Amino acid sequence: MQTVAQQQPRKRRNSVTVRKQPPVALESLVYEVLDGRPLYYRGYEDVLAGKKLPEDIMGSSSLQWVLVSYFMRIMIRQLDEKKYWFASNEAGVHLDHRNNLSHDVAIYDRSVLTPDKINTQYVTVPAKVAVEIDVKADISKVIDFNYVNQKTKKLLDFGSDKVIWIFTSSQQVMIAEKNADAWLTMDWNRDLELLDGKSFNIGRYLKEEGIQVTE
């Protein structure tokens, strides 16, 4: 009786398993909702095209998170923690059914944000002071060109006392206060009040840390 040798399957040489990234839902790339319109993270189209991952566009730059840390340090060391809550990390705020916004840094009055209003949802009361560091939303559409002013006005109308914008590319600070005749934009190399007489000076702080910012 003849024995037939079983042939072993040939191994493929240099075979590479390519794993396709699962499609990303457009809804997962929403940064804020303004007047009922979703605003997506800047660079969202590259994610949809498979050129970038969601985390590539949702994270903060090193300069942005350094500035967030700077403001948090001032708040925790110099402001009254029994009087205020301190928020960061794109803290969400629900203005109404057509507007869900976020803050890079925010100071909440404890008498306004009471324990019964703290839950798993967005905050529904205004921050006393909101700090925004750069524009993270895609504002390439003409309708969104005025995004900074729109968001600022909505926050002030909602009840915030002050909205501070930090623009790292131009090294400027814009401060808008409730009932003020004008919103001021100035160079960031100066002392500016945050709250309760406590000030910040971004230019000086970066210089002390040896950080150089080029446009």
pLDDT higher than threshold 70 for residue 103: yes
177 lies in some domain: yes
89 lies in some domain: yes
134 lies in some domain: yes
73 lies in some domain: yes
Residues 122 and 140 in one domain: yes
Summarize pLDDT for 136-157 with one digit per residue, the tens.
Answer: 999 999 899 999 999 999 999 9
Residues 38 and 85 in one domain: no
Residues 144 and 46 in one domain: no
Residues 34 and 82 in one domain: no
Residues 31 and 64 in one domain: no
CA-to-CA separations, 111 to 39, 76, 95, 107, in angstroms, rounded: 31, 18, 18, 12
Residues 197 and 128 in one domain: yes
Residues 35 and 64 in one domain: no
pLDDT higher than threshold 60 for residue 24: yes
What CATH number does the domain containing 86 carry?
A: 3.90.1570.10
pLDDT higher than threshold 80 for residue 26: yes
Summarize pLDDT for 37-67 with one digit per residue, the tens.
Answer: 999 999 999 999 999 999 999 988 999 999 9
Residues 149 and 85 in one domain: yes
11 lies in some domain: no
120 lies in some domain: yes
What's residue 9's pLDDT?
53
What's residue 59's pLDDT?
87
In which band, very low, low, confident or very high, does the pLDDT at 18 lie, cut at 50, 70 and 90? very low
178 lies in some domain: yes
pLDDT: is 7 or 166 the higher one? 166
Which stretch of 9-18, 110-119, 172-181 has the lowest confidence by average pLDDT?
Answer: 9-18
Residues 66 and 144 in one domain: yes
138 lies in some domain: yes
In whole numbers, what is the pLDDT of the chain averaged over residues? 91
What's residue 10's pLDDT?
55
Residues 49 and 111 in one domain: no
Number of Cβ within a 10 Å radius of residue 112: 15
The percentage of residues in the chain with a pLDDT greater than 70, rounded to a whole number, is 90
pLDDT higher than threshold 50 for residue 132: yes
Q: List the one residue out of 204, 152, 185 whose CA is nearest residue 34.
A: 152
Residues 44 and 131 in one domain: no
Range(s) of the domain holding residue 153:
60-94+102-208
What's residue 19's pLDDT?
46
19 class by beta-carbon count within 10 Å (0-12 exposed, 13-18 middle, 19+ buried): exposed
Residues 172 and 68 in one domain: yes
- Tell me the average pLDDT across 117-121: 97
